[in-house]
Structure 1
Amino acid sequence: MNIDEIVSRISEDLEYIKQFTATPGEGCTRLPFTPEARSTVDYLKKIMTEAGLKVHEDEAGNVFGILEGKDQELPCIMMGSHYDSVVNGGDYDGIAGVISAIEVARLMKENDVKPLHTFVAVGFCDEEGMRFGTGYFGSKAILGQLDAEYCRHYTDKNGVSVYDAMIEYGLEPEKIKGAKWDISKIGSFIETHIEQGPVLDSCGIEIGLVEWIVGIQRYMFTVHGRSDHAGTTPMDMRKDAVDAATKVISKIPDWAREKADGTVATVGYIKTIPGGMNIVAQDVEFTVDIRSKNNDHIIDIVNKINQTLQKEAGAFDGSYESDTKLVITPVKLSDLMLDISEKSCMEHGYSYKRMLSGAGHDALAIGQILPTVMLFVPSKDGRSHCPVEFSKYSDIGKSILVAYDLIQNLDNQ
């Protein structure tokens, strides 16, 4: 297999897909159930068809390219990632993994490989959770974890629910349970992805073999106080929601640092209501994202947030509420597939490193249930979720060859 041809094809695809953004010149903004998402899915369908795959878009907005195996009774080998992005993000996060899966199918076609197991290339919808504050929408849908009520519950900043956005996009949210796969029909899941961190690039390593993906919990907290005049209300007579919220927010980073095992916690969004410079805030909304490979550490930080919020809000007879956005436990990835991938790296002469993923991926949701592995490629300077995000096409090509070897090995077992 000629890696130059692989690099040429995937670069053509990824360069073309760059146009599908709501923020031209300011990074990739490809939110779920938008015109940009539709254009991307249509292009993926086109190149999947050209690769000889049977194309299917499911009830959750996922797109599949299926190469039927010789034995339809055997569980399939699935490979892919997500096609959505964050706001003003990069051009490689997620979508590079989708194109990689399609390229594996092209290589099978080129080499006249007729697999015993069915091979499925997938582009998942809404892994990022950027629009609705959730995440892993498509991968959770194939696991049967979503229903119409879930779609009604979550809304974007404009008050549009997942339910209504799906209808506008051309889907029927009442039928989302139809996206569920029979889990016994999926034998393994493979995801190639940019690292989104500095480890591989700083060490000059070509391939990351991911052993663990951290668990993630996300919450929206709302502290309730009372709005008053900023000049005439004495400090000891205020019910200041900001006062209570910030006393908790300031402690969250240190609670994560105390764990000393790579646990991280982030307050990424804060909103005061009514939001006037000369008004004591009635309410404060803020999000918390906590990640660790030790689920007990995540739970401990969440408990501390709740206990401290109750104390601080209660000090002025205020209150607070918590809305759980995402709870997903850490996952240990497949030792078998890691070992096979490590052998492939050695045979190709690629440098590699076994490592932890501090970012969540579709592999995190799927790996809770099915044998799963992730292959990382370096991110220049570790930058991601921003317009300067960049990974070399040659490095992506190397990960495709390792994935191809892995799939051939799994197919022969």
Structure 2
Amino acid sequence: MREACRIEAEGLAYAERIFNTVRDMSKDGPGVTRQGYGPVESRVLDYLEGLGRELDLEIEKDPAGNVWMTLPGADRTLPAFVAGSHADSVPEGGNFDGLAGIVAALTVLWWMRRTNFTPKRDVRALLLRCEESSFFGKAYVGSLGMMGRLTEADLQLKHRTTGETLEAAMRSQGVDPSALVTGRPVVDTLKIAAFVELHIEQGPMLDRDPEVRTAVVTGIRGNIRHKRVVCRGETAHSGALDRIYRHDAVMATARLLSRMEDRWTEWNEAGKDLVFTTGVLTTAPTAAISVIPGETAFTIDMRSLSTEVLEDFHALLLEEAKRIEAERGVRFEFDNALRTAPAVVDAALSDRLVESARHAGVPAMRLASGAGHDTAVLANAGIPVAMIFIANQNGSHNPHEAMKLEDFMAGTAVLWNTIKRFDE
């Protein structure tokens, strides 16, 4: 068994206290709920700011409401090393998705104060708002806003249950979004030398390995999404209409999704990186057991490290839909596709993480990220980025999400060693 670094042993209680406090602040049934640009997310950020003040950090908020905490370096003319993640969660989700990256950054800053370590350059913790798309259907709102890349249409997106617009939610938490839709960053990206996000893996690869519990991310999949696809057929009596006369929306939808799964299998076997998901599928409110369904509504989420693969598979989806329309006498209506470009991590910075893991005695593999992260937004803005994955249990985006603190502290040790050695 490897010997833990000092920060792992001595920082564990500090990190655990933050996790427990934030869980208590945001507990919702069996899980936690921290809506982006909601009051619970704001209260959590206020608490975390308080921890920053205890460490005598410089604290500021950017116009998107993201929180920056800075430990000054010896040469303040140099661009800063930044680490962090997002503070929000999905509804009744897990406590560690996003929060782990914030706690890792704060624990490193706590350790630097505890050991009287002065870095050559500023080290900053970045606490991002509203990364999850669960409430308003838009991911990375805080980071996109920071880069000035939100749109007026984004601001009019409505909350999944209340109907409140994203703009109204932002304004309710003291954020004026007018500067976030200009196409120009509201922060100086040239003052960021590197951004590193520690995150739970959200998948099973690391947790399957008893020894290698940490990974350095090779890239972040982009996605093409449809929030609403409608298949329109014709309702009819289930007992009075033979198969050849039916325009069954459920069967047409099932055929489309089945065909796309077959194509997905073929593309994976050909070595193409791709995942494909329909997370929501409903019939019309008037559906009944004795009625041939005349309408379905469903979602599409496809992800890949390759933009070309995404666009080609999306085109194939539309082609298959046309074929099934002709075969079954139905009509598919697709809303506007939402696109997020894949992100390439900085090779040199990733290599630094690997070397820092080796120096800390932390076994690490390289692993692609299937989930999206704010890191992708920063990467596509030209900032050198990298990610540390740590093992977690029971997946993510669910109330049963789990994480072993010793795995978290090993990842934090990698972050600390990267910062400590960054200017050597």
Normalising by structure 2, report the TM-score.
Answer: 0.88
Q: Does 1:340 align with 2:352?
A: yes
1:177–1:226 distance in 2 versus 1, CA, 3 Å: same
Q: How many residue pairs end up in the alignment?
A: 410
Tell me how far apart the structure 2 counterparts of residues 269 and 279 of structure 1 sit (CA, whole Å). 21
Paired AA for residue 9 in structure 1: Y
User: How far is the alpha carbon of 1:129 from its aligned partner?
Assistant: 0.8
Deviations 1:167-194 (A, max 9, x none): 3333323343587222222221100011
Q: 1:233 to 1:66 in 2, by over 3 A?
A: farther
Question: Quick one: distance in 1 between partners of 2:164 and 2:247?
Answer: 32
Aligned to 1:274: 285
User: C-alpha deviations, 1:256-289, integer Å up to 9, x for none?
Assistant: 2222245211100112223421444443221111
- Give the partner amino acid of 1:218: R
Aligned with residue 3 of structure 1, among 2, 8, 14:
8
Q: Deviations over 1:290-312 (max 9, x none)?
A: 12223322222211211122332
User: Residues 35 and 89 of structure 2 are in contact (CA less than 8 Å); yes or no, is this contact kept in structure 1?
Assistant: yes
The CA deviation string for residues 25-79 of structure 1, in whole angstroms up to 9 with x for no partner, is: x112222122321221111111122222222233333222123344443222211
Deviations 1:321-380 (A, max 9, x none): 323463223223222222222222222222111122222211222222321111111113
State yes or no: 1:180 paired with 2:186.
yes
Contact residue 92 and residue 194 of structure 1 kept, 8 A:
yes
Counterpart among 19, 22, 37 of residue 14 in structure 1: 19
Q: Which residue of 2 aligns with 1:373?
A: 386
| Unpaired stretches in structure 2, ≥5 consecutive residues | 1-5
Alignment of 1:348-387 (within 5 A): 348-368=360-380, 369-380=382-393, 383-387=395-399
Deviation track 1:371-407 (CA, whole Å, cap 9, x = no partner) reads 1111111113x53222222112122112112112212
Match of 2:252 in 1: 244
Q: Report the more deviating stretch, 176-185 or 356-365.
A: 176-185
> Identity of aligned pairs, percent?
28
Partner SS for 1:20: helix
1:11-410 to 2 correspondences below 5 Å: 11-21=16-26, 23-24=28-29, 26-177=30-181, 180-204=186-210, 205-220=212-227, 221-228=229-236, 230=238, 235-260=243-268, 261=271, 262-277=273-288, 278-315=290-327, 318-324=330-336, 326-368=338-380, 369-380=382-393, 383-410=395-422
Once the two structures are superposed, what CA deviation does each residue of 1:194-250 show, in whole Å capped at 9, x if it has no partner?
A: 111222221121321111222222213222344555555665555443333222122
SS in 2 for 1:395: helix
Moved over 6 A (4+): none
Does 388-397 or 241-250 show the bigger shift?
A: 241-250
- Higher mean C-alpha displacement, 132-141 vs 231-240: 231-240
The one-letter code matched in structure 1 to 2:101 is: G
Q: Is the 8 A contact 2:234 2:247 kept in 1?
A: yes
Per-residue deviation, 1:12: 0.4
- Quote the Cα distance in structure 2 between the aligned partners of 1:130 and 1:153: 12
More off after superposition, 88-97 vs 383-392: 383-392
User: 1:366/1:254 Cα in 2 relative to 1: closer, same or farther (>3 Å)?
Assistant: farther
Q: Distance in 1 between matches of 2:395 and 2:262?
A: 24
Distance 1:39 1:298, change over 3 A: same
Structure 1: runs of 5+ lacking an equivalent: none
Measured after TM superposition, the shift of residue 99 of structure 1 is 1.0
